[in-house]
Structure 1
């Protein structure tokens, strides 16, 4: 069962609001299936309908468990591009949607299946 710290989710929502009108994106860091931090990827490119992670700029870190990104449209369903990225970057992925409140997010597995994510 995956969980996320409430303060981490609040930070994600704030960063997503700050990125408007562009998407926000980061990697998730966890221990014992508890997401406790986000990690910004150097050189990421954020646009109105995409985030491009330059994964070659990241240090090797086994605490990364997936990704988070925002959808300014408010839709928290993954696109085909999202699903492709999920399959390459870890077991848990979060999409947050405008207006970036604590109720407008969805979590998915690397295969794009919905995932229950507890807020602690």
Structure 2
């Protein structure tokens, strides 16, 4: 079971609001299956329908467990591109949707299966 600190989820929502109408994207850091921080990857490109992570610059850091990105449309279901990225970047992934509140997010496994994420 995965959990996320409420303050971390609030930070994700605020960063997503700041990036609107573009998508926001970052990597997730966790310890003992508790997501406690996001990590911004230098060189990330945020567009209105995409986030492009420069995968070659991800540091070797075993606390990175997946990704988070926003969907300005409000839809929190993964696209085919999202599913491809999930499969390469860790066991847990979060998509947050407009209007970016604590009720509008979904979590997924690397295979794209829904994942229950408890807020601590």
SS of residue matched to 2:118 = strand
- The answer for unaligned runs of 5 or more in structure 1 is none
Task: Please state how far the C-alpha of 1:58 moved relative to its aligned partner.
Answer: 2.3
Aligned residues: 120
**For residues 6 and 46 of structure 2, what CA distance do their matches in structure 1 show?**
25
**For residues 59 and 79 of structure 2, what CA distance do their matches in structure 1 show?**
27
CA RMSD of aligned residues (A): 0.4
Residue in 1 aligned with 2:70? 70
Residue in 1 aligned with 2:58? 58
SS of residue matched to 2:83 = helix
Question: Which aligned runs of 4 or more in structure 1 are off by greater than 6 angstroms?
Answer: none
TM-score by length of 1: 0.99
**For residues 55 and 15 of structure 1, what CA distance do their matches in structure 2 show?**
21
- The answer for unaligned runs of 5 or more in structure 2 is none
**For residues 35 and 87 of structure 1, what CA distance do their matches in structure 2 show?**
19
TM-score by length of 2: 0.99
**For residues 56 and 30 of structure 2, what CA distance do their matches in structure 1 show?**
21
**For residues 57 and 18 of structure 1, what CA distance do their matches in structure 2 show?**
24
SS of residue matched to 1:100 = coil
**For residues 66 and 97 of structure 1, what CA distance do their matches in structure 2 show?**
18
